[in-house]
Amino acid sequence: MESGTPNPAEKPRQVAILVLEEDAENATAVRQLLDSEGWRVHIVNDSNLLLNELRNGEWALVVANVAVTGTDSAAFITLRELASVAAEDGGRIRVLYIVPEMTDSKYVQLLEDARLPYVARPFNFHDFIQKVSDLLFEVHAIAAPLRQVSREFGVVRKKKLEASRSNKSMFASRESYSYSEEEVAEYERQEATSSKRHKPRTNLGDPNG
């Protein structure tokens, strides 16, 4: 009798996010932000590796640099097709494109015409994480979007946002995406306060559940 054997179905699957980014610094920044929410992150640096991971893994979201995929590649077409399937029709994956600076006019209109979500660099912590959580919520990978509990970091966030706008990288500097222990503690206090109004947290990918 194997009554003592845990049932794998009882443990929620950790949310998995695949990131396509060829710039190592930007990839690290994205990983740090997504890791902060407890989501599992895997980085690839070219479209062929992306397609291989899509065939062999179970991903809830792909975050892709559109300059790496291009707009007429097999990777772009595949991602567009996957993202077009509604959740009620069995869609289980969403795509968020990153549009590099100085290239927005080249890609933005095409992405908007294709109704594909995107963020333009440089972007800030909350805007990025909120868009990611909205897409994860859309395919039922998390129980509630972070918009319900997200708050500003006041003067600190404003200072970092202003710095990011004056720099050409994804983030203005390491300060733009490395948060102090005090800031992280404040963010956790905000989430803890909000979580009292919801059920106990059981899923690492669910910021509120």
- The per-residue pLDDT for 39 is 94
Q: Using the predicted structure, report yes or no on whether residue 46 has a pLDDT greater than 80.
A: yes
Q: Which of 57, 72, 80, 65 is nearest to 23 (CA)?
A: 65
In percent, how much of the chain has pLDDT > 70?
63
Q: What is the pLDDT of residue 189?
A: 67
Residues 17, 66: Cα–Cα separation, whole Å: 16
What does the pLDDT read at residue 29? 92
pLDDT at 157 over 60: no
Rounded Cα distance, 63 and 41, in Å: 10
- The reported pTM is 0.66
Of 147 and 152, more confident:
147
For the record, the structure tokens of 17 come out as 């996010």
Nearest CA among 146, 140, 123 for reference residue 38: 146
Closest CA to 18 of 80, 77, 97: 97
Of 19 and 199, the structure prediction assigns the larger pLDDT to 19
Average pLDDT value for residue range 182-208:
52
Q: What is the pLDDT of residue 47?
A: 95
Average confidence (pLDDT) over 149-164: 53
Lowest mean pLDDT among 71-85, 114-128, 131-145: 114-128
Q: Is 24 helix (H, G, I), strand (E, B) or coil?
A: helix
Domains of the chain in start order, with CATH, are 14-146 (3.40.50.2300)
CA gap 95, 103 in Å, rounded:
19
3-class secondary-structure state, position 76: helix
pLDDT at 102: 80
